[in-house]
């Protein structure tokens, strides 16, 4: 207990004043730093924020290269549905390691052009190595964003294979809407993904997207369903620009 008769330290009132001021200043500094960090994060380019739930890990690309993929995915049939021909300009959105990219490049030939787009730099590096290894000169890699592939010129066809579920739900319509002005007259958008029946390869059922949801998103983005075809394990949806009839 303090003796009421004891003399008061003359510095005590100053100490009592300084300590709250220090606490207050520390709190304000912490708030300012947190605000600055948040502002810096908000200022980052969209491509670097990776709002996706599950981007495919580049180190697992080998899982996409199964020897039977040609048989069950039928890339030639998919390219036929998109009317991809010699000399065409096409885009492979979310191209990953370039499995489909090189098949597109062979289809369009030396007079055609393939834009291989991805938002992960490691994927683009993998595509560049693959293209050099196969001696292809008609492929250009593009570092896009989650909502815009940043294609430099109009294309005759856009292909989105095994990618749509990895696009954040809030980004899907915007991504598709940004494709519409990039389509040349008569251009087509093909979205290929796994059915929900659980058969064959592909991601868990909880990570798949039903084709009806894709059609709704496309309609909201200004695309109209032109054709639908079912493959062994996947559905193929082909869209063209314009409102549904």
| Three-state secondary structure readout of 103-146 | HHHHHHCCCCEEEEEECCHHHHHHHHHHHHHHCCCCEEEEECCC
**What is the pTM for the complete model shown?**
0.76
> pLDDT tens digit string along 142-159?
999 999 999 999 999 999
Q: How confident is the model at residue 194 (pLDDT cuts 50, 70, 90)?
A: very high
Helices (H), the chain: 12-43, 46-49, 69-73, 75-81, 99-108, 121-134, 172-179, 211-220
Q: Is 13 within a domain?
A: yes
pLDDT one-digit tens code per residue, 56-74: 555 555 555 667 889 989 9
**Residues 85, 181: one domain?**
yes
Q: Among 6-10, 35-39, 72-76, 128-132, where is mean pLDDT lowest?
A: 35-39
Number of domains in the chain: 2
Residue 202 backbone zone (phi > 0: left; psi -120 to 50: alpha; other: beta): left
Is 61 found in the same domain as 29?
no
* Residue 189 sits in the same domain as residue 233: yes
**By residue range, what is the domain housing residue 20?**
1-43
Beta bridge pairs of residue 235: 193, 230
Residue owning tokens 């010699």: 86
Q: Quick one: which H or E segment has residue 65?
A: none
Could you tell me if 97 and 213 lie in one domain?
yes
Is there a single domain that holds both residue 177 and residue 68?
yes
Residue 71 belongs to a domain: yes
Domain annotation covers residue 143: yes
């Amino acid at each position: 207990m303090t003796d009421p008769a004891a003399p008061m330290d003359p510095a005590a009132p100053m100490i009592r004043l300084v300590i709250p001021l220090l606490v207050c200043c520390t709190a304000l500094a912490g708030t300012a730093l947190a605000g600055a960090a948040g502002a810096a994060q908000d200022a980052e380019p969209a491509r670097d924020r990776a709002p996706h739930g599950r981007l495919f890990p580049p180190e697992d690309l080998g899982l996409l290269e199964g020897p039977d993929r040609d048989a069950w995915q039928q890339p030639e049939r998919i390219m036929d549905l998109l009317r991809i021909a010699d000399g065409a300009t096409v885009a492979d959105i979310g191209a990953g390691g370039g499995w489909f990219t090189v098949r597109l490049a062979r289809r369009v030939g030396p007079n055609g052009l393939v834009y291989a787009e991805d938002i992960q730099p490691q994927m683009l590096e993998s595509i560049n190595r693959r293209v050099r290894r196969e001696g292809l000169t008609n492929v250009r890699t593009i570092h896009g964003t989650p909502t815009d592939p940043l294609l430099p010129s109009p294309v005759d066809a856009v292909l989105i294979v095994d990618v749509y579920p990895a696009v954040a739900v809030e980004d899907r319509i915007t991504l598709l809407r940004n494709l519409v002005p990039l389509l040349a007259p008569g251009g087509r958008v093909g979205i290929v993904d796994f059915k929900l029946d659980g058969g064959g390869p592909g991601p868990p059922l909880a990570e798949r997207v039903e084709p009806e949801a894709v059609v709704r998103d496309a309609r909201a983005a200004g695309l109209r369903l032109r054709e639908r075809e079912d493959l062994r394990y996947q559905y193929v949806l082909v869209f063209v620009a314009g409102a549904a009839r």
